[in-house]
Structure 1
């Protein structure tokens, strides 16, 4: 076998390996994270389950995920109880009790506000992805733009016609850490990509960028991903009506 044939064979093997790695690596990492999360919840919940109610007592092997199921049922039950009058009274009493503790009240209040914003009121979350000229001129950083709100910061630094917007500039490759900044609306270049696409761009350090050619504008002006369009967003082709003029002449 000549050297050229050996080189081409090695190149094909390398390409096959890289293709398999691209397929297997995300699956393996996702499975590892999911399995670790299930094991973490089980390690917290299972010790509090009575032995007679645990399937591990009757089976020769532990049942993974049983603690997670119990935790989901308990959280749902607590939410159901907290939604009625008695539950709201108990929750209110507990919050007033925590509000009298100097250190605990700050931690609890901040965490509660964060979870309520993320899980309950999605209108207060980041709405758009933008670019801000940072850390110097002609160098742009990706930011997540929050909605316009009337806050003390806007009152102190108010400029008519050019409001301050709160933006979060995440760090690569961990988008959960970053910097909170207030920038003039005129200094932000708004992008059409979604929050999910912006997060993927940050996590991949710019390697996974959204393709603007795969999107069109819908009836409401928003961009629609042609690869995964929401139901009912794409216009349906008009049906040809059978009229007398379209019939063949005899």
Structure 2
């Protein structure tokens, strides 16, 4: 290979490293917006998504009002009584509230000692397991790399060390990227 062709190949690969993630990100955002916009069959592009956001915001407002809150609690109690719906609804609600609710769960990054020579990054999701008689254990969520799933392990507290000064978002990106993303130094 000549010097010029190596240089061209290098430029192409560097361009690909920039363009491919950007194009995929834009494409995924476009698909999400298109899906939300098409939830309501409105002939004006963009109006459907605005109506959906407004409706969700209004429902959130109603759920916080003292007068209408009992109605939402009653609907939830009714959902909890339906066998399959109960499992799906509570699992989805708990997962969503772990990211956006008042009780965020992925805000305590930890390093867990698995053996003498191996550790793993994760997040404490429950630090008190006395309800199941396991006071010495904590629940740690280990996200999978390049995946939207993970595992929850119950590990001895002495094997868990909370990472101080590390941003939870950076740790999640680091894990999900398979360790490829950079961990930013603590901000002082």
User: Normalization by structure 2: what TM-score?
Assistant: 0.82
1:111 pairs with one of 63, 86, 92: 92
- Structure 2, unaligned runs of 5 or more: none
In 2, distance between residues paired with 1:110 and 1:43? Answer: 26
The answer to which of 74-83 and 96-105 deviates more is 96-105
Could you say what the CA RMSD is over the residues aligned between the two structures, in angstroms? 2.6
Whether contact under 8 Å (1:126, 1:147) holds in the other structure is no
Greater C-alpha Rg: 1
| Counterparts of 2:162 and 2:153, CA distance in 1 | 16
1:18-167 to structure 2, matched below 5 A, reads: 18-46=13-41, 49=42, 54-55=43-44, 63=45, 65-133=46-114, 137-146=116-125, 148-153=127-132, 156-158=133-135, 163-167=136-140
Between the aligned partners of 2:179 and 2:106, the Cα distance in structure 1 is 23
Unaligned runs of 5+ in 1: 1-5, 56-62, 216-222, 225-233, 235-250
In the TM superposition, what are the counterparts of 1:175-190 in structure 2 within 5 Å?
Answer: 176-190=148-162
In the TM superposition, what is the alpha-carbon distance from 1:93 to its structure 2 partner?
A: 2.9
State the distance in 2 between where 1:107 and 1:180 align.
18
| Counterpart contact for 1:129–1:195, Cα < 8 Å | no
Size of the aligned set, in residue pairs, is: 187
Measured in 2, the distance between the counterparts of 1:117 and 1:207 equals: 25
For residues 165-217 of structure 1, what are the alpha-carbon distances to aligned partners after superposition, in whole Å with 9 as ceiling and x for unaligned? Answer: 2111222221x312211112222344454322222223332222325xxx3xx
Change beyond 3 A, Cα 1:66–1:129: farther
CA distance in 2, matches of 1:125, 1:210: 16
CA contact (8 A) 2:109 2:123 kept: yes
